[in-house]
Structure 1
């Protein structure tokens, strides 16, 4: 296994200066990309329709085998790599944060992380047709309104894919106040876990008491606010321990802990083993 000083971040190539790219990959056109087979993050949103073939993907220490029509979404922070790719026919949309409609972005953030979702033939047909239309627009670079047309069409695709996920997710309109606060907490946690470390930090953001925030989160998840803060920090630490060569002290500092012994105790308590032992066991 090859490791790097930090987790590689794949950025949009310069030729995609607009921050949007749409493509179809067929068995004939696919080539094995060494970078794809190594753990990495994206600095963009990645939407995929896998129509045919077999893929085995690892996302944040979980493996997903896909061998039927499936959609999946990878957010910018997730660490992933391809383990196996066979005879694939798939469609891909790469889109930067600023190009996604704010309403769609808010919904995405409220339901992320998302697991691969198998779809039926009816959904496959409309998704494939929408991808093909976006690809057609993507190629029409001479058009006077090229970018607005491309942006609007790809956002329609994003909305379509999100709507399929929402079939299996409770919509915000149906959420109780407890559930709405719980979702808001997790959205904030994902953005601020490097900075905000205490339940009181999060409660202050919502102008509610710590006890009420705890009640909302525990009611929805069965666990306390402190538990989820610690789990999110330790997940990021595991990513860095497994996929990079940063020292434990460097990881602690990157995650906002100047007190290295405290971070070390937190990791051991949460993970059940020390950070050094986690790295040793998972690299063997």
Structure 2
């Protein structure tokens, strides 16, 4: 059964950090097939623009804009035009827990975010140093320096992310509960479809959980769970050869006809048509 390809940090670097510079002047091949990684990606566009697809949503990036992609998110480049950009790939062991937390909060409502002129200049300098260091014969000192430079760049990036988050002030307790709920949801297979299940695990009432999720995401708890189910369904439809009934069972639906109706209601097309659209 074909699966979504996963790129691993160990296959790219023996010390968990690597960097790619994208430019019309360079003959590097852009990865356009959908895949996921076991590391973080921090992408900064210097000039030009590109469209990327992350978990079946498209985002437009132009000069001075950045995106963070977390481990496990399915993504690919849809189209790029005269783009000059840097992509920093970092094994999660080198991402500070506080920075992971900021990135997870950003991922609740992910949008391309702006880095100011100073941040962009600093990041370009760091990225260029990393590129030179990686391009030269490696030694233990160089590896340590590259790792420290990568940590410094993540600090600058999360500084920009915090500025984006501050523009959308939210209740801190609500954010922490939403992140905990999202983490529980990500770990379950199949997903439990009952909001009360998660409310119980979080030691709060179902009514309060619903209030929290709606405040942070704009959706009810049930709708958020439903959206996660549909996202998993999309992944299996596009990246596996499982039939509709097998996908429904894997997602915890005993009645695959009900699953098909739900999928059609949410996406506007039935599972078979959705699969055909993405595989054409």
TM-score category by the smaller chain?
A: 0.7 to 0.9
**How do 1:202-221 residues align onto structure 2 when only pairs under 5 Å count?**
202-221=198-217
1:45 to 40, 49, 62: 40
Map 1:160-239 to 2 at 5 A: 160-170=156-166, 175-192=171-188, 194-239=190-235
Is the aligned partner of 1:26 residue 2:23? Answer: yes
Q: Which deviates more, 247-256 or 167-176?
A: 167-176
Corresponding residue pairs, total: 279
1:31–1:15 distance in 2 versus 1, CA, 3 Å: closer
1:265 shift after superposition: 4.3
Mean Cα deviation higher: 129-138 or 152-161:
129-138
Alignment of 1:122-161 (within 5 A): 122-138=118-134, 142-161=138-157
Shift of 1:38: 1.8
Q: Distance in 2 between the 1:24 and 1:81 partners? A: 16
The answer to whether the 8 A contact 2:44-2:67 is kept is yes
Superposed CA RMSD: 3.1
Given that residues 47 and 93 in structure 1 are in contact (C-alpha distance below 8 angstroms), is that contact kept between their aligned partners in structure 2? Answer: yes
Could you tell me how far 1:152 is from its partner in structure 2?
Answer: 2.7
Q: Provide the residue aligned with 2:85 in structure 1.
A: 90
Residue equivalent to 2:270 = 274
Query: Following superposition, which runs of at least 4 residues in structure 1 exceed 6 angstroms of deviation?
Result: 171-174
Structure-1 separation of matches of 2:172 and 2:29: 47
Does the 8 Å CA contact 1:73/1:115 hold for their aligned counterparts? no
5+ residue gaps, structure 1 = none
**Given the two structures, how large is their TM-score scaled by the length of structure 1?**
0.82
Normalised by the size of structure 2, how large is the TM-score?
0.83
The C-alpha deviation readout for 1:222-262, integer Å capped at 9, x for no partner, is 43211100111102212332344332233234434465445
Higher relative contact order (CA 8 A, sep 6+): 1
2:9 maps to 12
Which ranges of structure 2 fall in alignment gaps of 5 or more residues? none
